C-alpha cells in the first residue's frame, strides 16, 4: 500500500483534474468541475454545479469510480462515511494548473 504522499505525487503526474477526499487524491475526468456526496455516502462528480432536488442532488451526476494499476474497476462508486451533512459536501475540483510549484 502506498503512502498518501506517494499517491498524491502520482495523481499530480497523471491527472489534470482531481479531488481530495479524506486526505487521498482521486483522479477525475477532465470535464469534472464539482464533487459531492449523497445521503448514502456515495461520491459523484459533475460538470455543472448540482442543486438539491427532492432531498438529493440533481441527477446530472456521475459516480466516482476507482481503478487499479491495470485499469480494472475496483469500486463502481466511491463510498465513505458521512462526516458532515451531505448538503455541505459540495466541493470544486483541483486542476493541475492551480497547484503550487514543487521541487
Q: What is the pLDDT of residues 52-96, one digit of tens each?
A: 888 888 888 999 988 777 878 888 899 999 888 888 999 999 887
Q: What is the pLDDT of residue 43?
A: 94
Q: What is the pLDDT of residue 99?
A: 59
Q: For the chain, how big is the Rg over CA atoms in Å?
A: 14
Q: What is the pLDDT of residues 3-48, one digit of tens each?
A: 443 444 455 455 688 898 888 888 898 899 999 999 889 999 999 9
CA nearest to 8, candidates 27, 29, 25: 25
Q: What is the pLDDT of residue 8?
A: 47
Total number of domains constituting the chain: 1
- In a domain, residue 91? The reply is yes
- In a domain, residue 61? The reply is yes
> How many Cβ atoms from other residues are within 10 Å of residue 96's Cβ?
13
- In a domain, residue 103? The reply is no
Q: What is the pLDDT of residue 5?
A: 39
Q: What is the domain range of residue 21?
A: 4-98
Reported pTM: 0.76
CA angle at 92 for the pair 91 and 97, rounded to the nearest 5°: 145
Per the CB < 8 A criterion, the answer to whether 79 and 61 are in contact is no
Amino acid at each position: 500500500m502506498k503512502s498518501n504522499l506517494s499517491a498524491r505525487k502520482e495523481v499530480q503526474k497523471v491527472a489534470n483534474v482531481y479531488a481530495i477526499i479524506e486526505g487521498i487524491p482521486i483522479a477525475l475526468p477532465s470535464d469534472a468541475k464539482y464533487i459531492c456526496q449523497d445521503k448514502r455516502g456515495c461520491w459523484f462528480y459533475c460538470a455543472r454545479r448540482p442543486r438539491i432536488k427532492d432531498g438529493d442532488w440533481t441527477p446530472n451526476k456521475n459516480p466516482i469510480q476507482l481503478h487499479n494499476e491495470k485499469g480494472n474497476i475496483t469500486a463502481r462508486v466511491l463510498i465513505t462515511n458521512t462526516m458532515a451533512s451531505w448538503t455541505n459536501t459540495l466541493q470544486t475540483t483541483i486542476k493541475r494548473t492551480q497547484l503550487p510549484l514543487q521541487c
